Amino acid sequence: MMEDGRTQVLNPASISSLECWVQKTAVKLVQINGQRKYGGPPPNWTGPVPGPGCEVFISQIPRDIYEDRLIPLFQHVAPLYEFRLMMNFSGQNRGFAYAKYGDPLHAGVAIRTLHRHELQEGARLVVRRSTEKRQLSLGEMPAGVQREQLLQVLRGIADGVESLTLRPGKGGGVTAVVQYTSHYTASMAKKVLCEAFKKRFDIMITVKWQSFSGKPRQDADQAKLSASPPPGFPQVTLRSSLLPPPLLDGGHRPALGQYPSLPRPARPGREALLFGDAVALLRKVCDMLDLGPPLYSTQYLCSSPEGFLCFAFRVLIPGVPLPYTGMTRVLPGCSGAAQREEVYHAAAEHILRSLYQA
């Protein structure tokens, strides 16, 4: 196999080092579809499955460096839920990997600590946020499709279906937006959905990644349908001046081992989460951890048959590498501002629950 005009040659010393490390630590590495995976979860993992924002993307990895060097390095930040190294058939790595932590805070620490880390002379790692796309847009669905029936069908085809939203589609049809528990489960579903619908129902559907903006990645003439927000609902956007400034290559980065562990604030009572001001509580948590104030962005999606208004939300916390995103339903309010506050409250409560696993 050729790459950059040079033949890939395995490094016997690197292979031997990996084998010795695996034998010594009893770490289990599993080869799946061009990648070698550790964990997901690892043995003795007691926490929940990590949500969005917990994974980092690692590139510029020397091709003869393996998990015996990489996993201990990234575990130095915090326990790893999962580590995936992309592999070639030749036995060399493909130069990139993914590391997933238990929460977004430690993923941020990994980025700030290990980005530009010199793994060997002349080889510096690039560590940044992982996009972790988890939503699929299913187009060309029949007009009369029912949400509960479709949800049952989708869960029978592939694992990991978390939620389902139906929207008006092109030509009187329906578009289904399906959210999965992880990028991996969404990827697996994407590979089988078209064929499954063709075999089981004799219909042809389209399956594409769904962007946060609500527009799937498709031709412009198919991306013009969008719901209008309810009357009086303010349009909320993030101002670029509020976004956290990037850390310049020449700026200060703490050396490995000098970065302090992020403290976990005292766990609030269940009553505080259920009945308190979730927006104020989230702001307080961010202040305690010196993460910066949460910045909210919302988008109206549709009205449900039950009368709820469906919204997508996006919350950017400057000290966390990836925004929190999700969907929620609220009852129509007396004003747009009241509806907006309801969406903010639901978003803040979602984030607090993910942080504290209440």
According to DSSP, the residues that pair with 216 across neighbouring strands are: 210
pLDDT recorded at residue 8: 54
pLDDT recorded at residue 335: 65
User: In angstroms, rounded to a whole number, what is the distance separating the alpha carbons of residues 306 and 131?
Assistant: 33
Amino acid identity for residue 268 in this structure: P
The rounded average pLDDT for each run of 10 residues, N- to C-terminus, in the chain (358 residues) is 48 94 95 88 89 89 95 94 91 92 90 91 91 86 88 92 87 87 85 92 90 44 39 40 30 34 44 60 84 85 74 84 79 70 86 66
Q: Specify the length of the chain in residues.
A: 358
User: In angstroms, rounded to a whole number, what is the distance separating the alpha carbons of residues 35 and 139?
Assistant: 30
Q: Which two tokens stand for residue 105?
A: 């805070």
What is the 8-class DSSP label of residue 216? B
pLDDT recorded at residue 276: 55
pLDDT recorded at residue 207: 94
Is residue 92 classed as helix, strand or coil in its secondary structure? coil
pTM reported for the whole predicted model? 0.49
Is residue 192 classed as helix, strand or coil in its secondary structure? helix
Amino acid identity for residue 7 in this structure: T
pLDDT recorded at residue 326: 82
pLDDT recorded at residue 230: 52
| Residues in CB range of 152: below 8 A, 6 or more apart | none
Domains, the chain, ordered by start: 11-129 (3.30.70.330), 135-222 (3.30.70.330), 262-356 (3.30.160.20)
CB atoms inside a 10 Å sphere around CB 314? 18
According to DSSP, the residues that pair with 37 across neighbouring strands are: 30, 84
